[in-house]
Amino acid sequence: MSKVLVIGAGGVSSVCVHKMAMNAGIFSEIHLASRTKSKCDSIAASVKERTGVTVSTYEIDAEEVPALTRLIQQIGPKLVVNLALPYQDLPIMDACLAAGVDYLDTANYEPKDEAKFEYKWQWAYQDRFKEKGLMALLGSGFDPGVTSVFAMWLKKHKLKTIRTLDILDCNGGDHGQAFATNFNPEINIREVTAPARHWNQGEWVETPAMTIRQNFDFEAVGPKNMYLMYHEELESLAKFLPELERGRFWMTFGDAYINHLTVLQNVGMTGIEPILYQGKEIVPLQFLAAVLPKPETLGPTTTGKTNIGDIATGMALDGSGEKTYYIYNICDHEEAFHETGNQAISYTTGVPAMIGAAMMLTGTWRGEGVFNMEQMDPDPYMDMLNTQGLPWQVKELAGPLDF
């Protein structure tokens, strides 16, 4: 029975708060704060209608550390769940330290003026959290999050070592819009326009964004083009799987998405440097994000499924030589919408955020300092994925990907 404070009121937060309310035995009191209080209020109204649970709401700018610290002290939660944007990670961690409360997020810190997400800024908080006896858990979404837990489950139950790892993120959903992103447009476009990077023989190999493409036949979706990208869990996986020879991340994109993005990039709309417009400084990407459809409005029209998982190859635990396993979850956009009022991209992130929070609040996962998902026992988390709406499957493949 624990009190939790969630920060941010977008699609991911909406799913997470609904799922917390559905697990009232763990989350006895839910508080929700964000920059725009009306968004918190509409999540709270939906939660009340669907579950009968009351969620208390507040307005806060999470970048104002003293005000956030005061709010945390006033509420007195056992855990702060950060579902705002990556820019707010460090101020929220600072406020948690000042108020003496544990911390969890789903995406690593990224400075606003530099499209470069890395764990180094948050790993630097290790000593401060440890000294205060507090725990910070980083990246408890699907990717990062479940994809790391999947890898560690394979390492615990199937493979002694993981030699190669491919993470495959497929969204086979159709939202009926000409161009829209499935989560925060600014963060999404910064991610996909960044150079691709993969881990190979102990070093990072960089290639231009969206230039390496392969076709893969995804169960429940069908064949899709997927593109090599950099994704933040590659950094923590390379650290916590020291034997890893090659680690790659692939994401599917349709031709229409690529065409729109190419045009937007070519005309400068994805830039993050401020420009002067009618005497006012604006950031082109922020303006673009403001005119694109809001991800939380895509739920009612999105159909189809997501299929996200890991293909790992390494020496089998039972001594039977090298083996390859594919472990994945399939999530249905319409079912996700029916349950919480949000599409599957928000669902596949919000449910793991709730599970990470449950792991911490029940003491199942405990530590002092800053932790990545790879450092925790995968089993209880994997059990909750099965019971909380994201069931997973594992199967043996004939060998690693042949590209």
Which residues contact ligand NDP (rule: CB under 6 A)? 7-13, 34-36, 39, 60-63, 83-86, 88, 106-107, 141-145, 183-184, 187, 295-296, 349
For the range 112-119, what are the long-range contacts, defined as Cβ-Cβ under 8 Å and sequence gap of 24 or more?
Answer: 112/87, 112/272, 113/272, 114/272, 115/190, 115/193, 115/194, 115/272, 116/194, 117/86, 117/191, 117/232, 118/232, 118/235, 119/232, 119/235, 119/236, 119/372
Least separation in angstroms between CB 61 and ligand NDP: 5
Least separation in angstroms between CB 201 and ligand NDP: 27
Least separation in angstroms between CB 266 and ligand NDP: 25
Q: Which of 401, 390, 397, 353 is nearest to 144 (CA)?
A: 353
Least separation in angstroms between CB 341 and ligand NDP: 13
Least separation in angstroms between CB 335 and ligand NDP: 18
State which residue, 29 or 296, has the beta carbon closest to ligand NDP. 296
User: Phi and psi of 244, rounded to 5°?
Assistant: -65, 120
Q: Residue 364 has what DSSP assignment?
A: S
Of all residues in this chain, which one has the CB nearest to ligand NDP in the complex?
10
State which residue, 63 or 219, has the beta carbon closest to ligand NDP. 63
State which residue, 238 or 298, has the beta carbon closest to ligand NDP. 298
Q: Which two tokens stand for residue 291?
A: 């005119």
Are 314 and 162 within 8 A, CB to CB? Answer: yes
Least separation in angstroms between CB 317 and ligand NDP: 28
Q: How many residues does the chain have?
A: 403
Which burial class, exposed, middle or buried, applies to 172 when counting CB atoms under 10 A from its CB (0-12, 13-18, 19+)? buried
State which residue, 16 or 154, has the beta carbon closest to ligand NDP. 16
State which residue, 85 or 159, has the beta carbon closest to ligand NDP. 85
State which residue, 61 or 339, has the beta carbon closest to ligand NDP. 61
